Chains A and B, each alone.
Chain A
């Protein structure tokens, strides 16, 4: 008999606010968190709208003794740390962070694991540029960039007084992708199996699936799982523009007009920042301590697409994302359910026409004509594209749909392709037993998770 895995705590940070309650309330009310980017002047880019988390700092979500460490946290890390803190509190777990007055830990340190998906974290351009602009040397009356000057002052011993000393000594540690998990493990004393998956938009769901496997095979009782990413920085904006993933908004402030999941006329998505961390826990342990169960992680599957689907090279993208078909079919089989049992789908629905066409193609391949009657829940019009955080937010929403027995609202700037229940609608009560959450990625990795209602 396989050990069952439950979601027992949820934390989320998104453009709708800090906390899962803020995300869920916004989605139920049909209120988007997208708007003009204010963190920097985006007018050098074609896409100028996004999903910012306003007024947020991890300082408010760590113990006083840990506040100094926030200085070496890139924004991605801050998002993960805050989401993890909320997840722990929500699950009612006692971890090192809360075990002040001799309170007993829910689980021994070595039985608490952590898998938080991440992206490549962008270096702060000002900090990097201070160093780069110090690295110019004059040669024949013109200035030239020099790696020699980067290493040392002109004429000095190697390594002495080079431009690179403008970078703080711990510079690298601000940007290593596994630092999301690193800070969370330190704060909560999670010494068990640990991993950091970096598979673009699929990172969050893959991490949840892999963490569920760790618990299932008995290597931990509970795991942090999810992902977080900040795409609202110069480097991420530039790269996503180059990858042709973004809508050219110009000076428009009407973000929703650009959010068109599964609409073949969609011109691209909008970026965001955010993520979710959930607590996965062995079902028997959660029940034994009377923990709340949002949903069971009943099935997981993963699969790889070809290069064109991955956005690599210049091949013609396919009509059907075959790697996603592999992932979904594996997840359904793993959960022991048929396609006909799925009551709702939380797809990636990125609002990028060719990606959505291929995702819809994959869903059609699995669900055939019944797809038209399965409600979909699209998260990007609410929070934007949070990459590694995106799949994790989908998972959190899927779990909440099961615990609340409610379909959130859908926002849409136009109409989706025919045969899909994905157009604008208000929130409504529903009877859900099985929810499929799936994600595809730039890079071609795909993940699918089947969530099942808890029999509370």
Chain B
């Protein structure tokens, strides 16, 4: 069994900060907030009536007329994924695959469910209501559903359909999967895709995620859990991870997709290597359905596994005296619980080294892309390695003493005078206690 090195050779993103990975990165370095009042639906009377929407996205600018015809039914987040995949494919210098190659290329996404078809959903539930019995009448419900629902709109909501579209776009026929591990999904997808390449089951994988829960029921689920910020008077400052006055996360939407490749495959075709996936760790809190483990045991375990696979000792400084990782892209949702627990987990794992660790949460700017968050945050880590700049956490007015890490507050940090950025750790934790971490490293042959 081979254990091959896995590298990143392309990346694409559609986020509230821009419609490409480059635009997104520029927004992140500028410390720009993409959060504002929701325009996509009638949300004014919601306790959280703001979010980070992808604005002005036109599929025609990313995909050819022929592609759009072949993928006519694709829903919003699937189109985000296809645009991202197209960018990543192009950056990797890839074109049409021949029949043999197609079997060696796979797709692994953490794509979320599509946006419901609200017109039919609302109408059929109202029509199916038996007011006397205070329950849905199954016969009336069924009859109205069958007359109101559109087959294509329903199947496009299935979470594994984005994989089918992305695979079709490039002609991939190899291992293809979709995972839904909540907010950890696309970090998981990248990690699992890397494992598939490492084992030799594919030479290349398109990996990442896409999601939009910026719609009434998506928002409702989190409002009922009181997980979202209600800072209605100041939306652009509502996402404030690690700040003492943080009051929840802010919903975003988008996609991030990377081209992963075995090193020998990338070198054989003369591809430019952007960075190396050095380690991946997955764990479960196995604690409670609503709360994180208070000591962040699951988070620690995922980070520890990723570090071990990368051959890094979290408590030991590198030869140049700097900590084993230069930057942690925190899950950093901006809920009271997450940021405190994540801090605790980082400190438990890195011990004394945690004092010198630069940490930030780009969710402060682009919002929480839910299943797509991890892939975009990994792209930010790759960009940090490429440029030597670390993106900030904005809206930190007063850092929470319970989050006493080196939080890159409000302005991007230039690491070039300090030797640049070598190694980053990217965390994603999901409801249900799902934890995933990736270590990404500057590529050195």
- A contact set with B: CB distance below 8 Å: 2, 40-45, 69, 72, 96, 109-110, 114, 118, 120, 125-126, 128-130, 132-133, 136, 145-152, 158-160, 162, 164-165, 167-173, 175-179, 181-183, 185-186, 188-200, 206, 210, 213, 216-217, 219, 234-235, 237-239, 241-244, 301-307, 310-313, 322-323, 326, 330, 334, 441-445
Contact = CB atoms under 8 A, between A and B. Distances in A.
14 contacts: A129-B125, A129-B126, A148-B45, A158-B46, A192-B283, A192-B284, A242-B151, A243-B155, A301-B201, A302-B106, A304-B167, A304-B176, A312-B155, A445-B163
Nearest to B138: A40
Interface stretch (B52-60, B70-78, B407-415): B70-78
Contact of A158 (B44, B72, B73): B44
B180 A118 contact: yes
A440 to B, nearest CB: 12
B179 A146 contact: no
A307 B145 contact: no
B160 A326 contact: no
B220 A164 contact: yes
A42 B176 contact: no
Contacts of B113: 120
B149 A44 contact: no
Nearest to A446: B176
Contact of B168 (A126, A159, A189, A307): A307
Contact of A171 (B46, B224, B290): B224
Interface residues of B, number: 97
A220 B419 CA distance: 37
A73 B181 CA distance: 17
Contacts of B305: 193, 219
Residue among A165, A195, A200 with most chain B CB within 10 A = A195
A213 B181 contact: no
Nearest to A219: B305
Interface in B296-342: 297-298, 301, 305
A25 B189 CA distance: 39
B283 to A, nearest CB: 6
Nearest to A234: B141
Given A147-B41, A182-B432, A445 B142 contact: no
Interface stretch (B127-135, B376-384, B393-401): B127-135
Contacts of B404: none
Nearest to A306: B168
A313 B45 contact: no
A133 B284 contact: no
B389 to A, nearest CB: 33
A129 B289 contact: no
Residue among A109, A114, A118, A310 with most chain B CB within 10 A = A310
B247 to A, nearest CB: 13
Interface of B: 1, 41-49, 70-73, 103, 106-107, 113, 122, 125-126, 128-129, 131, 134-136, 138-143, 145-146, 149-152, 154-161, 163-165, 167-168, 172-182, 188, 192, 195, 199, 201, 216, 220-226, 230, 232, 281-290, 297-298, 301, 305, 430-434
Q: Pick the 7 closest A-B CB pairs, nearest first.
A: A159-B47, A44-B142, A172-B221, A182-B432, A151-B45, A304-B176, A443-B160
Contacts of A151: 43-47, 49
A167 B125 contact: no
Given A159-B46, A303-B175, A196 B288 contact: no
Contact of A444 (B164, B174, B232): B164
A132 B126 CA distance: 7
A109 B284 CA distance: 10
A183 B430 contact: no
B180 A147 contact: no
Contact of B103 (A2, A198, A200, A326): A326
A142 B59 CA distance: 38
A181 B432 contact: yes
A198 B180 contact: yes
A130 B284 contact: no
A125 B136 CA distance: 6
Nearest to B172: A304
A243 B151 contact: yes
Given A158-B47, A191-B301, A193-B282, A125 B173 contact: no
Contact of B286 (A130, A132, A185): A185
A188 B285 CA distance: 11
A180 B146 CA distance: 29
Contacts of B175: 301-304, 330
A146 B42 contact: yes
A44 B138 contact: yes
